[in-house]
Amino acid sequence: MACDGKLLRRALDRYEEDKKLREERFAQRRETIFIKEPRLREIDGELRATMSGIIASALRRGTDPRPPLEALRGRNLSLQRERAEILSRLRLPPDCLEEKPNCPLCGDTGYRDGRICRCLREYYAREQKKELSQMLDLGSQSFDTFSLDWYSETPLPGDEFSPRENMAWVEKTCRRYAENFGPGSGSLLLTGAPGLGKTFLSACIAREVSEGGFSVVYDTAAHIFDRFEARKFGRGDGAEGDVARVLRCDLLILDDLGTEMTTALVVSALYEIINSRLMARRATILNTNLPPEELSRRYSPQIASRVEGEFEILLFRGRDIRALKRERQ
């Protein structure tokens, strides 16, 4: 799984903030106990200072530290027993003065065996959800809230299946895609007239894929192409990083393709996005109001060829749901 560098930095910042807060709270709890029972502070200091002093002394002399450590063992055990008796009298857990990591797998480092630990990945998932929420209504857009009631059961002229039958298949395909998402999942082209649910279903996919720990970038085509333009002409801070996010994320969802002003730079950027991601076997979802045959005329035969040959095409049919909702108000 690829991680978005920008979001990972945010996740690390939150991770370290929470870690520091836990450490401060533990220090406060321990200080409260020490104030209540000063002898515990003395025992804690003696256990720490005596052990480190004997080891340091033995190492400075170049002698084996084991004999003095063995001599100290009885004293330490006695101090530990005294500490346990005091804590028991105070009705406190025997380990309440020991600072334990919140995550036993990584010891609160965030990494385990050179890979991101699941505790840090949870922070990353939350940051990614915040990022996606700037574009999407993740609170209501889910497969469970998708309704076929807005699609007619009557086939359109020339169609074999009704819009509802067609959309039942489209929704099932999108759900299966999200549930089984992984490296090499392939790419989708969601195409159809405005207001038929393309953004809704791609948001459902984004939500489920991101919850699975994969990096997802969801943005409009116009904004993404603007970042490519900024990179080319050296305008704006962070354009290089923004382009890298687009090219390297596990799943890119490019919304409203075809609403931007088509220029040579846009065609070049779209080709770079599609071609580089296909070569790296990274998944892409394109949302567009354009019919598939329009891609060749609007962009280029090369782009159309790659989309038609490598993307699964999902055709959205029916009436504009936003218009239908206004009619029923």
CATH assignment at residue 146 = 3.40.50.300
Distance of CA 178 to the CA centre of its chain: 15
Helical H segments across the chain, by residue range: 5-36, 38-61, 66-89, 118-133, 163-179, 198-211, 221-233, 239-248, 264-279, 292-298, 301-310, 321-328
Shared domain for 165 and 277, answered yes or no, is: yes
Three-state DSSP class for 271?
A: helix
Q: How many domains in the chain?
A: 2
Residue 117 belongs to some domain of the structure: no
Question: Measured between alpha carbons, how far is 86 from 219 in angstroms, rounded to an integer?
Answer: 60
Range of the domain at 191: 135-328
Stronger pLDDT, 74 or 92, i.e. the higher one? 92
Shared domain for 86 and 158, answered yes or no, is: no
Shared domain for 164 and 292, answered yes or no, is: yes
Shared domain for 148 and 36, answered yes or no, is: no
- Note whether 287 and 316 are within 8 A (CB): no
pLDDT digits (tens, 9 = 90+) for 151-209: 999 888 878 889 999 999 999 999 999 999 988 899 999 999 999 999 899 989 988 89
Domain boundary among 79, 112, 145: 112
Give the pLDDT mean for 261-267.
Answer: 93
DSSP letter at 261 equals: P
| pLDDT for the residue numbered 186 | 92
Would the pLDDT of 63 be above 80? Answer: no
Shared domain for 206 and 311, answered yes or no, is: yes
Task: Please give the structure tokens belonging to residue 55.
Answer: 């080891």
Domain boundary among 112, 127, 144: 112
Shared domain for 259 and 299, answered yes or no, is: yes
Residue 130 belongs to some domain of the structure: no
- Note whether 185 and 283 are within 8 A (CB): yes
Q: H/E element holding 116?
A: strand 115-116
Shared domain for 46 and 192, answered yes or no, is: no
Residue 71 confidence class, pLDDT cut points 50, 70, 90: low
Shared domain for 35 and 143, answered yes or no, is: no
- Note whether 255 and 287 are within 8 A (CB): yes
Give the pLDDT mean for 294-319.
Answer: 92
Phi-psi region of 254 (alpha: psi -120 to 50; beta: other; left: phi over 0): beta
Residue 43 belongs to some domain of the structure: yes
Would the pLDDT of 59 be above 70? Answer: no
Shared domain for 297 and 181, answered yes or no, is: yes
Shared domain for 233 and 192, answered yes or no, is: yes
Give the pLDDT mean for 7-19.
Answer: 89
DSSP letter at 262 equals: P
Residue 216 belongs to some domain of the structure: yes
Question: Measured between alpha carbons, how far is 305 from 250 in angstroms, rounded to an integer?
Answer: 23
Task: Please give the structure tokens belonging to residue 149.
Answer: 């009631």
Question: Measured between alpha carbons, how far is 254 from 75 in angstroms, rounded to an integer?
Answer: 68
Mode of pairing for the β-strands spanning 311-316 and 187-192: parallel
Domain boundary among 46, 79, 112: 112
Shared domain for 71 and 205, answered yes or no, is: no
pLDDT digits (tens, 9 = 90+) for 298-308: 999 999 999 99
Residue 291 belongs to some domain of the structure: yes
Shared domain for 88 and 167, answered yes or no, is: no
| pLDDT for the residue numbered 312 | 95
Give the pLDDT mean for 233-239.
Answer: 74
Query: Which one, of 98, 177, 168, lies nearest residue 318 by Cα?
Result: 168
Half-sphere exposure at residue 305, Cβ-oriented, CA atoms within 13 angstroms: 4
- Note whether 282 and 209 are within 8 A (CB): no
Residue 236 belongs to some domain of the structure: yes
pTM over 0.75: no
| pLDDT for the residue numbered 129 | 78
Question: Measured between alpha carbons, how far is 93 from 89 in angstroms, rounded to an integer?
Answer: 10
- Note whether 70 and 77 are within 8 A (CB): no
